[in-house]
Amino acid sequence: MSLAYIGLGSNLSDPQAQIITAIEKLKQLDGGNVIKISSLYFSRPMGPQDQPDYMNAVVALETNKSAIELLEQLQHIETITGRIRKDDRWGARILDLDIILFDQEVINTTRLTIPHYGLKQREFVLLPLAEITSDLFLPDGDSIDELASNIARNGLKIHSKLS
């Protein structure tokens, strides 16, 4: 089994319900087992500010799938929840599921980059990740706890705990 950390985000169509539904779908994945779930966080949008704030969380997931197979499963969940992929990378969305980390693998293909390319700059990923695994180190040796301690919060707020 591999250990993956999945970032979840939504700012449309009742974001809290979207995140909770996505977590339920992750619990039902073939070959997967959700082992930890962060609190829900509110964050400001990246890119255009004329969109609603986001709700974010991070889930730790054991899986017997490869990283690319897991990506396909996540994209299927996004599709069935109504996400439409557009060229607008920073626009509002019903659901966004990203593989943040996959064991200690480093993957850099046109389809998948692990660790996630924005991990170290995004408080809405680092702080929920540190909440569920503060003792984790990235493949480059950086400490999640240290990165999270030093990142600006940019208005990030805990909304509620999930279990």
User: Mind listing the pLDDT tens digit for each residue in 93-114?
Assistant: 789 999 999 999 999 999 999 9
Q: What percentage of residues in the chain have a pLDDT greater than 90?
A: 75
The whole-chain average pLDDT of the chain stands at 91
For residue 122, what are the β-bridge partners?
none
pLDDT in tens, 4-43: 999 999 999 899 999 999 999 999 999 999 999 999 999 9
Q: Domains in the chain: how many in total?
A: 1
For residue 69, what are the β-bridge partners?
none
- CATH number of the domain bearing residue 65: 3.30.70.560
Beta carbons of 160 and 39 less than 8 angstroms apart = yes
* Residue 145 one-letter amino acid: D
Range of the domain at 113: 2-160
Residues 6+ apart with CB under 8 A from 145: 130, 134, 135, 136
Strand ranges in 51-126 using DSSP code E only, listed in sequence order: 54-63, 96-102, 107-108, 113-114
Q: What φ, ψ does residue 38 adopt, rounded to 5°?
A: -75, 175
Enzyme catalytic residues: 83, 93, 96, 98
pLDDT surpassing 90 at residue 77: yes
